[in-house]
């Protein structure tokens, strides 16, 4: 009988955690401030402090965080935002839904945006740079921040996959004018439903974001610009407060699994690279294989669930491909090779060893590019 290794396990199996979550839910039900309750304000205060920012604005999803963030910067028709080619489509949608144009930069072997590609794509219409810290690895921020500064445009981080990832001592979400973060149930720091947050330092932008997240209103009733309702539920804020102290342990386990994979898989497939000064959180542990589809099927037959995140590049999605501007030669090559292995914190070292043994049984398939 094969073992079953799940890609995700969203059950709450830790008794203590379940008790804490239930108590938090009960507290919200008892005080009755189901929307905009005290837990939401406390969550904002705690997240801002945790990420070393002045403000946090809790919203309903990572998509909302990006959408309201871009809107608050005043970007719209005629403006271009340079982002990456490889991300969940929410990143491009948040730009396009504001009427601005996403421009797609190429990626490097580490699957993050290539600053050289960004430099080539800059035009007078470029009004923001939006890197995604993909797989839980912070992008090469020095180069991107320099490009944004020299072009006089804001940098917006999509830190949805990288909560608490570090880059030369600085944390994901602490680099840009805005840090936009998804806290959906799949994330390293996760609510028990949809959730997101924007972190920032600028007071004026903060004021605008507070209005944007609730129908563009101030003082409860006065609408100063049309917007949507993207408020975070008090219940999710309460769950997130319970889980914040657990994030460090979740990341420790994921990093331990990643280190074990990287040791066991060396020479068999392409493994993620962690350079000096980087501390990745392994939202995904993404390998590269020259026989990716075959390997995926082989692992499936042995009870190992894997995922391709994401099989279609954003510029190749039907919604974008007709009008696209960008560079994605490397991304096209890489997207055919990537495969995410199970790495979540509920797995045991023996699960990781089993997956690695299955990959060894399948045989080496190290991609030949780049050297």
Ligand X SMILES: Cc1ncc(COP(=O)(O)O)c(C=O)c1O
Residues that bind ligand X (CB under 6 A): 61-63, 87-88, 90-91, 132, 158, 160-161, 182, 184, 194, 196
Residue that the structure tokens 């960008």 belong to:
326
Q: How far is the CB of 187 from ligand X (least distance, A)?
A: 7
Q: Which of 76, 127, 121 is nearest to 103 (CA)?
A: 121
What are the C-alpha distances in Å from 36 to residues 215, 231, 303? 14, 8, 44
Cβ proximity to ligand X, 78 vs 311, nearer residue: 311
Pairwise CA distance, residues 256 & 258, whole Å: 5
Pairwise CA distance, residues 348 & 81, whole Å: 41
Pairwise CA distance, residues 307 & 323, whole Å: 28
Cβ proximity to ligand X, 132 vs 340, nearer residue: 132
Cβ proximity to ligand X, 193 vs 216, nearer residue: 193
* Long-range contacts formed by 147-153: CB under 8 A, 24+ apart: 147/115, 147/118, 147/119, 147/122, 151/122, 151/126, 153/126, 153/127, 153/128, 153/129
Residue that the structure tokens 């563009």 belong to:
216
Q: How far is the CB of 14 from ligand X (least distance, A)?
A: 23
Q: How far is the CB of 176 from ligand X (least distance, A)?
A: 14
Cβ proximity to ligand X, 88 vs 214, nearer residue: 88
Q: How far is the CB of 182 from ligand X (least distance, A)?
A: 3
Pairing verdict, β 55-59 and 196-200: antiparallel
Cβ proximity to ligand X, 21 vs 314, nearer residue: 314
Q: State yes or no: cis peptide before 370, omega within 30 of 0.
A: yes
In the complex, which residue's CB is closest to ligand X? 62
Pairwise CA distance, residues 113 & 83, whole Å: 8
Q: What stretches of 266-310 show up as alpha helix (H) in DSSP?
A: 292-301
Cβ proximity to ligand X, 43 vs 354, nearer residue: 43
- 86, 310 Cβ separation under 8 angstroms: yes
Cβ proximity to ligand X, 197 vs 265, nearer residue: 197
Q: Which of 326, 182, 166 is nearest to 240 (CA)?
A: 182
Cβ proximity to ligand X, 79 vs 194, nearer residue: 194
Q: How far is the CB of 183 from ligand X (least distance, A)?
A: 7
Q: How far is the CB of 184 from ligand X (least distance, A)?
A: 4
Cβ proximity to ligand X, 166 vs 291, nearer residue: 166
Q: How far is the CB of 264 from ligand X (least distance, A)?
A: 27
Q: How far is the CB of 90 from ligand X (least distance, A)?
A: 4
| DSSP for residue 322 | T
Cβ proximity to ligand X, 80 vs 194, nearer residue: 194
**C-beta neighbour count of 200 within 10 angstroms:** 24
Joined together, the tokens standing for residue 355 give 């997956």
Q: How far is the CB of 320 from ligand X (least distance, A)?
A: 15
Q: Which of 75, 149, 140 is nearest to 114 (CA)?
A: 140
- 146, 167 Cβ separation under 8 angstroms: no
Pairwise CA distance, residues 342 & 113, whole Å: 24
């Amino acid at each position: 009988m094969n073992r079953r290794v799940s890609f995700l396990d969203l059950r709450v199996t830790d008794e203590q955690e379940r008790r804490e979550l239930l108590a938090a839910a009960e507290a919200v039900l008892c005080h009755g401030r189901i929307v905009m309750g005290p837990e939401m304000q406390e969550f904002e205060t705690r997240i801002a402090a945790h990420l070393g920012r002045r403000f946090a604005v809790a919203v309903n999803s990572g998509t909302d965080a990006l959408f309201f963030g871009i809107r608050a910067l005043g970007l719209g028709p005629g403006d271009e935002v340079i982002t990456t080619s490889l991300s969940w489509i929410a990143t491009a949608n948040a730009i396009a839904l504001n009427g601005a144009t996403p421009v797609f930069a190429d990626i490097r072997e580490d699957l993050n945006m290539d600053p050289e590609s960004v430099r080539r794509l800059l035009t007078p219409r470029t009004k923001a740079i939006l890197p995604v810290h993909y797989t839980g690895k912070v992008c090469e921020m020095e180069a991107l921040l320099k490009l944004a500064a020299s072009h006089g445009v804001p940098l917006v981080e999509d830190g949805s996959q990288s909560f608490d990832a570090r880059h030369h001592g600085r944390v994901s979400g602490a680099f840009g004018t805005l840090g936009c973060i998804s806290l959906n149930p799949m994330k390293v720091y996760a609510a028990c439903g949809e959730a997101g947050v924007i972190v920032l330092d600028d007071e004026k932008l903060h004021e605008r974001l507070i209005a944007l997240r609730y129908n563009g209103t101030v003082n409860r009733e006065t609408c100063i610009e049309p917007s949507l309702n993207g408020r975070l539920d008090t219940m999710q804020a309460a769950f997130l407060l319970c889980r914040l102290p657990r994030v460090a342990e979740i990341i420790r386990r994921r990093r331990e699994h990643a280190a074990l994979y990287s040791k066991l898989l060396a020479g068999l497939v392409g493994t993620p690279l962690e350079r000096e000064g980087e501390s990745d959180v392994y939202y995904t542990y993404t390998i590269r294989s020259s026989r990716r589809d075959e390997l995926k099927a082989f692992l499936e037959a042995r009870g190992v669930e894997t995922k391709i995140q994401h099989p279609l590049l954003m510029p190749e999605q039907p919604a974008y491909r007709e009008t696209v501007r960008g560079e994605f030669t490397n991304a096209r090559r890489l997207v055919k090779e990537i495969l995410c292995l199970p790495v979540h914190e509920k797995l045991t070292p023996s699960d990781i060893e089993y997956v690695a043994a299955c990959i060894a049984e399948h045989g080496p398939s190290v991609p030949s590019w780049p050297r």
